[in-house]
Structures are given as structure tokens and as C-alpha cells.
Amino acid sequence: MGNDRLALAALVAPAIAFLIAFFVFPLLMMARTGASGPDGLATYLTILVDARYLASLGKTVLLAGTVTLTTLAIAGVAGVFLARHRFPGRRVLTAFLTLPLAFPGVVVGFMVILLAGRQGVVGTIAEALTGERLVFAYSLAGLFVGYLYFSIPRTVLTVMAAAEKLDPALEEGARSLGAGRWRVVRDVVLPGLEGALLAAGAICFATAMGAFGTAFTLATQIDVLPMVIYAEFTVGANIAVAAALSFVLGAITWAVLAIARTAAGANVAAAG
């Protein structure tokens, strides 16, 4: 018995060491660094009352939330459609949809510039139609489009997997009892996809909260939280504030994932 325990402890030890070295220790270090500035622990209070940080935080949460909801709406419809219908080119289309997963955020940002930048396609078409050049790549709208672009693929895949598991007899059962199309969506399809939508939504939110590459590429007028952290860290050398902001960003994201995990009762992987 004692030997078994010893063996078990020996087997678990590397995992625990890894967890401590690469997760607990850096987190504690960052939390401590956050309180190491001239204001001490009050740094945390400062970033929650300072108008600039608060605005950035609010904007980031709002952006991530909007991206999440929009992604769920688009990917939900597309995922169910792709899972339900067999048509020529379906596999190719599904493969194309997952293509953005391969691009780093910088490339996604670059693509948004090509689309809606000063020389972008949207601008050229808008100028031809209205005489005015439409440029939104460098605003929150540009970020929104970029984030949608890399959020939709993973959500579509999750929804497809869940939709394929839905029993079509459930929908037919509801219809036989008199439920119309929308009623079936509300009473059968959405509850059936609830777990997948919550899981995909949580990851989508977490990714959008922490995404940096796209914001960095587009950044002219945008101050989402990761950008502010970067600026404080590199330009301002304000290490304490950067650490405190990072800690808050992590805490909010973690909280959303935790809530989603509780609600779904399923496994929602915390995104890195």
C-alpha cells in the first residue's frame, strides 16, 4: 500500500512540478509584480478607477461579447446547415471554412486591411457607388471583422459535431405535436446545441479578449486591453500596471469560462 502511494506520488510529481513551474509560479509572480509599483496593491484599484483603463476594459469586453454573439449566430446557422445537408462541394466548403485557423492574427489583420483599409476592396467599391471612400479597417469595426474571421471556423466545427448528434426524430416528434419551424428551433434544436454553443462561445470570448496579433496590425486608434498592456509594458515601462492589467484580463476571461463551464456542465477547455 505504502509502495503504491509512493509510486503514484512519483508518477504525479512531474505533472505537479510542471503546473507549479509554468502556471502557478508565473501567475503568482505576475500578481506580485502588479502590486510592486509605487502604489503597491492600490495599482489594482487604480486600473479599475482610471478612466483610460476602464474604458479599454469595457471596450474589450464589449467587443469580445459582440464578436461571440455574432459568431454564435452565424456559425450556429452554418454549422447546422452543413451538418444536415449533403451537396456537391460540401467537403471543400467545410475545409475552406477552417482555413482561417491556419493564419496568425497578424495575417488576419493584414487581410482586414486589404478588405477595408485605405486601398481596400470595400473602399474602392464604396467610392465607385457613393463617391465616398469607406475605410473601417483601423477602427473597432475592423477588429470586429477580423475577430469574426478567426472565431467562426472553430465555432462552426463545434456546432457541426453537435448537430450531427441531434436525433432528427426529436424534431419530427415536435412537429408531429404541432410545432412550426421556429418553435422546433427554439424547443428542440437550441436546447440540443446548448452545450456546444456555450463551450464554443466561451472559447470564442476568451480568444477575442486576449487576441493581440490582429489588434497590433490594425492598431491606429484602437486601445483594446492587450494593446494597452503592450503599450504599458514596452513604451511606458510601467511593468506593475501591465502586470495588474494582465491579471485582471485573465481573471475576467477565466470567470466567463468558469460560468460557461458550470452552465454547460460539460468540458470547456480554458483557452491559452
Interacting residues with another protein (CB under 8 A) = 167, 169-170, 172-180, 183, 187-188, 191-192
Specify the residue, 171 or 232, whose C-beta has the smaller distance to another protein.
171
Contact 271, 256 (CB under 8 A): no
Specify the residue, 115 or 179, whose C-beta has the smaller distance to another protein.
179
Alpha carbon distance 201, 189 (integer Å): 17
Smallest distance from another protein to CB 169, Å: 4
Smallest distance from another protein to CB 86, Å: 9
Q: What DSSP line would sit under 23-44, residue for residue?
A: IIHHHHHHHHHHT-STTTTHHH
With H, G, I as helix, E, B as strand and everything else as coil, classify residue 237. coil
Alpha carbon distance 248, 44 (integer Å): 8
Specify the residue, 176 or 220, whose C-beta has the smaller distance to another protein.
176
Q: Residue 269: left if φ>0, alpha if ψ -120 to 50, beta else—which one?
A: beta
Burial of 191 (0-12, 13-18, 19+ CB in 10 A): exposed
Specify the residue, 91 or 183, whose C-beta has the smaller distance to another protein.
183
Specify the residue, 133 or 175, whose C-beta has the smaller distance to another protein.
175
Smallest distance from another protein to CB 192, Å: 8
Specify the residue, 5 or 85, whose C-beta has the smaller distance to another protein.
85
Alpha carbon distance 226, 190 (integer Å): 33
Contact 4, 207 (CB under 8 A): no
To 10 degrees, the CA torsion angle through 67, 71, 74, 75? 170
Smallest distance from another protein to CB 157, Å: 23
Smallest distance from another protein to CB 201, Å: 18
Smallest distance from another protein to CB 180, Å: 6
DSSP H stretches of helix in 140-267: 140-165, 168-176, 181-184, 190-210, 213-218, 225-230, 239-264
- Please name the amino acid found at residue 100: P
Specify the residue, 58 or 191, whose C-beta has the smaller distance to another protein.
191
Smallest distance from another protein to CB 187, Å: 7
Return the residue matching grid coordinates 437550441: 190
